[in-house]
Amino acid sequence: MSSLSPRSPVDLHMHSLHSDGSLSVEELVARVAERGVRLMALTDHDNTAGIVEAQQKAAQRGIGLIPGVEVSSEWSGIGIHIVGLGIDIHNRELQRGLARIMEFRDWRAAEISRLLAVAGMPGAEEGARRLAGSRMVGRTHFARWLKDTGHCQDNAEAFQRWLGRGQVAYVPSDWIPMSEAVDWIRQSGGIAVVAHPGRYKLSGSRLRALCEEFRAAGGGAIEVSSGSQGAADREHLGRLAQQLDLAASLGSDFHGPEIGHAEIGQIFPLPEGVQPVWERLGYADFSLH
Ligand code: AMP
Ligand code: MN
Ligand code: MN
Ligand code: MN
């Protein structure tokens, strides 16, 4: 890693084998330690199956662990990811909600597989499930299977040709409304965060409308600095957070050493003037200024 790469001791967005990450929880926490990150959140998609082990492994290494999840939701017809930080994983409302999303994912996996079979590519669901390290099957697992079986060159092509919106095996996603995701997270004692706001390709006014609605629903923060959005988005998002009285989060969105996005802790610091979300979660001593 070049010394020019940004390094942050806080990283509040990353994935393990319990969703579409490629590392086990144990490997992930070991890498967090190697990268010098001292406060982490595990935020697998739509489930919290890795949290208990993450808490144990982080405690052994003296790393602060914030229990998290990244909920797939929908606002105004587009998929919006809402990260929950500081959630109580035993909360029944939250787990009931996540179970509903996982059921939808199971149904959708069968449907994607059926559409790929019609297009001459049988066996996709079995293939994707073999590649998945847990029960959660997502489109990135199908993309890996399509690549492994020679139907495309890489992840981007898998989405362009088969899995992306409007393509042969695209199944319109029936995610829960964003306000419901915010509600479950709040009911479980957590803070809801708009994940990678720079990635939804929204105009300034639409993004503001999204964040205003998010705040009205009880949302608490936006990801001002993210490994999966441009560094240039930071200043703009920091101002938006301040104007709407939302806290600011930061996270790499790490999925694995060989999978896109940024490395653990490879994120630019928050701009001046915003309130770091971890202060609201009781980790004031991690302030970085
Ligand atoms: P899922 O939640 O199963 O629908 O999968 C969504 C994930 O697929 C996103 O988090 C991205 O990592 C990936 N993805 C979505 N659209 C694209 C695209 N056009 N190109 C590459 N990856 C994509
Ligand atoms: Mn993912
Ligand atoms: Mn996401
Ligand atoms: Mn993510």
| Residue-level pLDDT, tens digit, the chain, 289 residues | 444 678 999 999 999 999 999 999 999 999 999 999 999 999 999 999 999 999 999 999 999 999 999 999 999 999 999 999 999 999 999 999 999 999 999 999 999 999 999 999 999 999 999 999 898 999 999 999 999 999 999 999 999 999 999 999 999 988 999 999 999 999 999 999 999 999 999 999 999 999 999 999 999 999 999 998 888 899 999 999 999 999 999 999 999 998 877 899 999 999 999 999 999 999 987 755 4
Model-level pTM? 0.95
pLDDT at residue 287 in the model: 55
Give me ligand 2 centre to Cα 11, in Å. Answer: 16
pLDDT at residue 261 in the model: 72
pLDDT at residue 164 in the model: 96
Give me ligand 2 centre to Cα 59, in Å. Answer: 25
> Are the beta carbons of 271 and 23 closer than 8 angstroms?
no
> Are the beta carbons of 70 and 175 closer than 8 angstroms?
no
pLDDT at residue 3 in the model: 45
Give me ligand 1 centre to Cα 45, in Å. Answer: 12
pLDDT at residue 289 in the model: 42
pLDDT at residue 288 in the model: 54
pLDDT, tens digit, 9 for 90 and up, residues 181-213:
999 999 999 999 999 999 999 999 999 999 999
Ligand 1: residue of 107, 113, 139, 226 to mutate (most ligand atoms within 8 A of CB) is 139
**159 in ligand 1 pocket by Cβ < 6 Å?**
yes
For the chain, the straight-line distance linking the first and the last C-alpha, in angstroms and rounded, comes to 23
In this structure, the residue with its CA closest to atom 13 of ligand 1 is: 140
Give me ligand 2 centre to Cα 289, in Å. Answer: 30
Cα–Cα distance, 99 to 35 (Å, whole number): 33
Residue keyed to tokens 């949302």: 219
